[in-house]
Structure 1
Amino acid sequence: MIGISDIEAAARSIAGHVVRTPTVPSPGLSALLGAPVTAKLELLQRTGSFKARGATAKLLSLSAAERAAGAVAVSGGNHGIALAVMAAALDVKATVVMPETAPARSIGIAREAGATLRLTDGMDSAFALVKELRDEGLTLVHPFDDPVVIAAQGTVGLEFADDADELTDVIVSVGGGGLIAGVAAALRARRPGVRVWGVETEGAQAMSEALAAGGPVPVALSSVVTTLSAPSVSRLTYDHVAALVEDVLVVPDREAVRGCLDLAEHAKVWAEPAAGCLLPAARQVLARVGGGARLGLVVCGGNATPGEVMAWTERFGLR
């Protein structure tokens, strides 16, 4: 299990390379949800999501030989952007493997950063290709199945604990589980009374299905939220969530997109559906915990284009 000393060490390592993102009360979201809301604006992080933290920590941990051979990542978008941009900043050769369904903007940014880009027909084949590249000598920067990466993602929780006022419940989006594992570990140490909740979208339910099965299982992916679409969680992230997280909630894609629109209107931030799903989850949490709740939302990323959001808005009849 990742401990607070691991997370504090990660914070020292990545300081100066990443942004200490704002933690702010949101009057607009508080009025919308009917409870005090504090938002951790990780969408203002370098590369537009929290993923820069884990990628940076892993790249900084590489030996000289590993840096020379290069690093590889598999990604539905944000992790690939993070590896490409941070590897360029740290002078490490990078290869990014993405499914063809990854957002066009993410593919373009990874390519423009100088990474070698490999596109596959889906996430399963993307992970298979990464295995081949590892066998050729590249070092894998895994999006979630790595204690170095999880500890660095946990610095989000460390900052949240230090910077927020009183909280009762913190809600975190879940893909492979690296962010929620790290955040939950940090909050358990710094704010042990706070409940941590996860949220996934329908068709990207790797963690909730793992919890139901008693361990990681492969899942069928159909959600439009590609940045949450891990084909399975890892034993490492599962163990953290099973031990430290209250529950993992599941919301429809439509409500995640509605959440993007609500975040733009009421919080004045431009988020992707992986963050938009926080709002329908927050309503579920409030219904379960009753009065007196003070919510914290980890707004994990903002890498969605206006065109993508408008297309989803039309698709789900949200105009």
Structure 2
Amino acid sequence: MSGDELPLLEYAAIEAAARLIEGDVVRTPTVVSTGLSELLGVPVTVKLELLQRTGSFKTRGAAAKLRSLDDAERAAGVVAVSGGNHGIAVAAMAAALGVKATIVMPRSAPRRAVDIAGRHGAAVQLTTDVTEAFALGVRLQSEGLMLIHPFDDPDVVAGQGTVGRELAEDAGPLTDVLVSIGGGGLISGIAVALRALRPGVRIWGVETEGSESMARALAAGGPVPIVPSSVVTTLSPPAVAPLTYAHTRALVDDVLVVTDAEAVRGTLELADAAKVWTEPAAGCLLPAARRVIERVGGDCRLGLVLCGGNATVTDVLAWADRFGVDRG
């Protein structure tokens, strides 16, 4: 199934998710960034989802899904496949609800993410790569665990869509919103919310080279498998889902692809100009923002969803050295 024939979420599902998870998540700040506005030469508003519980937006979708399970499903235990942030979020939320969780991650996942998931009481299993991780997740699901998919689930997408609901309600005038894409759950949910509440806003997805699964899906007319090679493991599924492809194709204006080096440079620029520490999954928005300004002109007003901050200083500086990115 390509995804073209799949029904899109209604905005009512996002409103319902917002009510369901209200006690589990933080309404993160939406603020005008003077530093980024000066850097880019246009007004810039940021949604600081890196201040969310567990350090990323993933808590929203994990909470929405876990809260939607019945008693028998919770008793069976859950399994999640993750490049980092989703695993942390599911482990933390499962612990809060007294649900046994297994988190499957590729060995390329940040060590910090593995450690945090384990500290929340989850059983962490590491695999050779992300493709093997998803295969193991499906096998554990077949053995009776409830799969909390990072993006191929309407409940998860609705939970992530609460980011867009808050952005639409809290931001001033915007012409363009930029959102990172891994599996596409975040941009799918945000796009549903913005099309309902800010229908005139242009929506741009951003991926990194080596993990551009959505850009390839759009070019091919449906999801296609890839072998992720980007250092940005939190944006590196082996394919997007028909569900998220359908939403992106219908609701998103375009998907831009930047290099790993640009994403790492963007992380350092965000620290310098915006005074926030993000991960490259958010840092990739800055080079993409410059491309958007070139395409739409200098009268735009940008909104950037800074999706997470779960990268260590050591990791980011090591990547900067690897790609020859100036730290200053």
TM-score range, shorter chain: over 0.9
Rounded Cα–Cα distance in structure 1 between residues aligned with 2:316 and 2:138: 33
Q: Deviations over 1:121-167 (max 9, x none)?
A: 00110011011100111000000000000001000000000000000
Q: Match for 1:199 among 187, 198, 206?
A: 206
Question: How many residues are treated as equivalent by the alignment?
Answer: 319
Amino acid at match of 1:129: L
Q: After TM superposition, give the deviation of residue 120 of structure 1 in Å.
A: 0.2
Rounded Cα–Cα distance in structure 2 between residues aligned with 1:92 and 1:67: 6
Q: After TM superposition, give the deviation of residue 297 of structure 1 in Å.
A: 0.1
SS at match of 2:150: coil
Amino acid at match of 1:249: L
CA contact (8 A) 2:206 2:256 kept: yes
CA contact (8 A) 2:265 2:283 kept: yes
CA contact (8 A) 2:81 2:149 kept: yes
Q: Does 1:17 align with 2:63?
A: no
Q: Match for 2:244 among 232, 237, 241?
A: 237
Q: Match for 1:107 among 106, 109, 114?
A: 114
Deviating above 4 A after TM superposition, structure 1's stretches of 4 or more consecutive aligned residues are none
Q: Does 1:156 align with 2:163?
A: yes
The match for 2:35 is 28
Rounded Cα–Cα distance in structure 1 between residues aligned with 2:325 and 2:243: 38
Amino acid at match of 1:261: L
Q: After TM superposition, give the deviation of residue 90 of structure 1 in Å.
A: 1.4
TM-score normalized by the length of structure 1: 0.99
The percent identity for this pair of structures is 69
The match for 1:49 is 56
SS at match of 1:39: strand
The match for 2:67 is 60
The match for 1:310 is 317
The match for 1:259 is 266
The match for 2:193 is 186
Q: Deviations over 1:175-217 (max 9, x none)?
A: 0000000000000000000010000000000000000000000
The match for 1:143 is 150
TM-score normalized by the length of structure 2: 0.97
The match for 1:292 is 299
Amino acid at match of 2:149: H
Rounded Cα–Cα distance in structure 1 between residues aligned with 2:227 and 2:86: 21
Amino acid at match of 1:134: Q
CA contact (8 A) 2:192 2:251 kept: yes
RMSD of aligned alpha carbons: 0.5
SS at match of 1:171: strand
Q: Match for 1:273 among 275, 280, 283?
A: 280
Q: Deviations over 1:202-247 (max 9, x none)?
A: 0000000000000000012110000000110000000000000000
The match for 1:172 is 179
The match for 1:98 is 105
SS at match of 1:208: helix
Q: Deviations over 1:273-308 (max 9, x none)?
A: 000000000001111111210000000000000110
Q: After TM superposition, give the deviation of residue 313 of structure 1 in Å.
A: 1.2
SS at match of 1:82: helix
Rounded Cα–Cα distance in structure 2 between residues aligned with 1:199 and 1:220: 18
Amino acid at match of 1:7: I
Amino acid at match of 1:293: C
Amino acid at match of 1:168: T
Rounded Cα–Cα distance in structure 1 between residues aligned with 2:225 and 2:113: 25
Q: After TM superposition, give the deviation of residue 75 of structure 1 in Å.
A: 0.2
CA contact (8 A) 2:41 2:298 kept: no
Q: After TM superposition, give the deviation of residue 91 of structure 1 in Å.
A: 1.2
SS at match of 2:257: strand
